[in-house]
Amino acid sequence: MRVLFLGDIVGRSARNAVIAQLPDIRAKHSLDAIIVNCENAAGGFGITPAICDDLFAAGADVLTTGNHVWDKAEISPYIQKQPRLLRPANMAREFPGKGAVIHTLASGKRLGVINVMCNLFMAENGNMFEALDKEIAAMRLGHEADFILVDVHGEATSEKVATGFYCDGKVSCVVGTHTHIPTADHRVLPQGTAFQTDAGMCGDYISVIGMDPDIAISRFTGRKSGRLSVATGEPTLSGLLVETDEATGLALSAMPYRSGGVLAAT
C-alpha cells in the first residue's frame, strides 16, 4: 500500500491548500489512503465539523488530532458520530470519541490508525505505551488491518523515537506530530516500521511554528502578551509517504513529502 500522512494543518490558508490539492496528490502519487492531522485547522486552534467534512470530501480517509482537539466546543458531539475523526487514545475515558479506527477503503484494504499523545511536557493523560499495547492488540497487522499508522503527538523527540522502536515490527508506520517542524530522520526501522520523529506542519513556514513571528517574538521577550495569530503566507504541505509490502504490511520505504511554500520540495 501507498499511504500519505500530512502533519498538523495550521490555519485557513493551509486548510484551503490541503482541501484543494488532495485529489491531485492522491492521483499523482497513486495513493491508497491519506491520513491528516487536523487539530489546528480552525484558526490555528482546534477543528470544526464543517472543516472535517470538507477534508473528508477532498479525500482524507482518517483525521487525527492532539492536545487542541477540544478547542472548538462543537467538535464534541461530532466526534461521537464520526469514527474517522480520532482523539488521542490515552485521554481519559470520559472524553467523547475514540483513539483508533479500522477503516475499510473502497479497494477493500483495511486502514488502521492509532492516535496517542506523549506524556512528557504535555497535559496529563494516561500512560501512552499502555494505550498503544491495547490498541495494537485490537488491530494486528496482517490480521485485522492491512496497514497501521500511529500518530504520536508530543513535544519530546526522545519519547517519540522510543515509541517508534516500541512499535517496530508491529505497525506499518509511526510518525510524530505537534512540534510543527519536519525532522530529517525519516527511515525504516530494523523490524520494518516506517518512522519520522515529526512530519512537520501544513502551514506557512515564514512563522514561529505557524504563528505570526512578530507576535511570537514579543511574547518570548516579554514586551507584549496576547493571543497568537496564524501566519497567512503560502503554506508548505509537509508529511510522510510510506509504501508497504502487500504480504506483510511492513514498510518498504519512508519518504518525506513537502510541497509549496518556502521549504525545499521533496
Residue positions annotated with a catalytic role? 68
Grid cell at residue 156: 519530546
* 36/64 Cα distance (integer angstroms): 6
Cα–Cα nearest to 5, from 236, 199, 218: 199
Strand, helix or coil for residue 175: strand
- The answer to whether 5 and 38 have CB atoms below 8 angstroms apart is no
Which residues are registered as beta bridge partners of 203?
Answer: 236
State the pairing for strand pair 100-104/110-117. Answer: antiparallel
Contact 140, 172 (CB under 8 A): no
Ramachandran category for residue 43: left, alpha or beta (phi over 0 → left; psi -120 to 50 → alpha): left
CA torsion sign, 187 to 192 to 198 to 201? positive
Residue 216: Cβ-neighbour burial (10 angstroms; 0-12, 13-18, 19+): middle
Burial of 12 (0-12, 13-18, 19+ CB in 10 A): middle
